[in-house]
Amino acid sequence: MHQRLKKNTSQSATETPKASSETNSANSGSSNRANQSEATKNQDAKTDVTTSASQRGREIGEKNREYGQKLSDPNLSNADRQKIIQEKKNYNRSHH
């Protein structure tokens, strides 16, 4: 009788981890889906911010290239050159 009890105990001990590992797998599956969903939302938010910042940087760069083209004109008077430089400074101060 003692051997039979010991045998049953070892069988239930090996069966229990299987049952709990199956439960953990099921729980981790739903938990993983929730984490993935949250990660996707966070990534979308980061992408929106990055895209917005990148767009803003491109706009500023484009405007600065326009100022550079104006300043490269050899026929500009000193007064006009200083006026363009001041415009560029003001633009960059207000857009950075």
- Residues 37-58 have a mean pLDDT of 72
Of 58 and 15, the structure prediction assigns the larger pLDDT to: 58
Report pLDDT for 46.
61
Question: In 3D, which of 59, 92, 94 has the Cα closest to residue 84?
Answer: 92
Pairwise CA distance, residues 66 & 88, whole Å: 10
Q: Quote the percentage of the chain above a pLDDT of 90.
A: 41
**pTM for the full predicted model:** 0.48
Report pLDDT for 4.
55
> Per-domain residue ranges for the chain?
24-95
